[in-house]
Amino acid sequence: MGLFDKFKGRREEDDFDPLHDLTLAKLKVGYYVDYDMKTWEVTGYNRYDYGEGYWGEEWELTSGREKCYLERSEDDEVEWTLSKKIPIGAIEGNITRYIKENEDPPNQIVVKGKTYYLDESGPVHFYQDGKGEGVGLISWTFVDEDDESFVTIEQWDEDEFEASEGIYVEEYQFSNILPGSKSNLA
């Protein structure tokens, strides 16, 4: 068997092209990426189905004790966001009671003294690890007046709420994407 004969038997999905496969949109659990002068490990992956063929992908990024969520969504164009979970009580007023009584939040909310305005809302299906049966939830996204930051409220069931605060980011702000020793390259 010649030297090149060894490569003929490789499966196509085992081929890893670092110039093509190491992009932000192709992050996998176990990869590393640099952002804001820190190295982050990809520790989770999820998908969101917003309906009408509109999907979002979310990567959980961890650096030390910090955890954030990088999301890629595409409607007319690709949009990247980076968010961190915040306590639902960080939203002024009793937002959970308001939603339970009115089936929706108010059209504007205040978080840490900053006002955010309702931008999008609707049912969403969440797929942990990007597969399996989706879990239904309701999501409301509020944006600030400069359209630079946002707050999302998610209602998972009648009494379970989560909130996150984030910013819009650009792909070029992330660099040095590397597979980790535990990541699956295929």
Structural domain spans, the chain: 14-178
pLDDT band at 53 (very low <50, low <70, confident <90, very high): confident
**Which pLDDT score, from 0 to 100, does residue 17 have?**
63
Write out the two tokens for 128: 């942990």
Write out the two tokens for 14: 């085992």
Tell me the longest C-alpha to C-alpha distance in the chain: 74
Could you write out the DSSP letters of every residue in 1-57? Answer: --TTHHHHTS-GGG---HHHH-SGGG--TT-EEEETTEEEEEEEEEEEEEETTEEEE
82-137 per-position pLDDT tens digit: 999 999 999 999 999 999 999 999 999 999 999 999 999 999 999 999 898 889 99
Amino acid residing at 18: P
**Could you tell me the sign of the dihedral formed by the alpha carbons of 71, 72, 75, 79, in that order?**
positive
Strand (E) or helix (H) holding 54: strand 54-63
* Candidate from 15-19, 22-26, 108-112, 159-163 with smallest mean pLDDT: 15-19
Residue 86 to residue 89: CA distance in whole angstroms: 8
22-47 per-position pLDDT tens digit: 899 999 999 999 999 999 999 999 99
CB 28 within 8 A of CB 42: yes
pLDDT band at 165 (very low <50, low <70, confident <90, very high): very high
* Highest-scoring range by mean pLDDT, 16-25, 49-58, 144-153: 144-153
pLDDT at 2 over 90: no
User: Tokens 């509109």 appear where?
Assistant: 54
Write out the two tokens for 117: 């305005």
